[in-house]
């Protein structure tokens, strides 16, 4: 399987594999309502920076982009998985794999 990392960060798996950023970042557009007190509403729209599907390729994106893209070839790091590893500050340093939205 070919993986293309469309995030700005290297993705490290628990087994030591590293997926460096490709240089392209997939993003999802958003619009916000006016604030009602301290709260506004956000609506997500178009995904940009995501190539067309290519057989044998998975695209690594943020969970938000994966949710908006709704494609079988789009995955995000399994940061919520109980086997995700964290450093002493609680920051994720590696994940056991990827999830589909």
- pTM for the structure as a whole: 0.90
Report whether pLDDT(37) > 90. Answer: yes
For residue 95, what pLDDT is reported? 98
The string of pLDDT tens digits covering residues 8-36 is 999 999 999 999 999 999 999 999 999 99
Residue with tokens 């390729």: 57
Q: What is the pLDDT of residue 99?
A: 97
Residue 101: what pLDDT? 86
> Do residues 67 and 101 touch, judged by C-beta distance below 8 A?
yes
Question: Are residues 27 and 43 in contact, defined by beta-carbon separation less than 8 angstroms?
Answer: no
Q: What region does 8 belong to: left with phi over 0, alpha with psi -120 to 50, or beta? A: alpha
- Beta strand 57-60 with 2-5: parallel, antiparallel or unpaired? parallel
CA distances from 24 to 20, 49, 82 (A): 11, 6, 29
Per-residue pLDDT tens digits for 54-92: 999 999 999 999 999 999 999 999 999 999 999 999 999
Q: Are strands 92-94 and 85-86 parallel, antiparallel or unpaired?
A: antiparallel
């Amino acid at each position: 399987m070919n993986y293309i990392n469309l995030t700005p960060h290297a993705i490290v798996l628990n087994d030591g594999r590293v997926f460096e950023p490709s240089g392209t970042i997939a993003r999802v557009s958003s619009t916000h309502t006016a604030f009602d007190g301290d709260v506004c509403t956000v609506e997500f729209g178009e995904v940009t920076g995501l190539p067309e599907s290519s057989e044998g390729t998975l695209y690594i994106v943020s969970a938000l982009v994966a949710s908006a893209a709704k494609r079988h070839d789009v995955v995000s790091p399994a940061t919520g998985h109980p086997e995700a590893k964290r450093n002493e500050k609680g920051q994720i340093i590696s994940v056991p794999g990827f999830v589909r939205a």
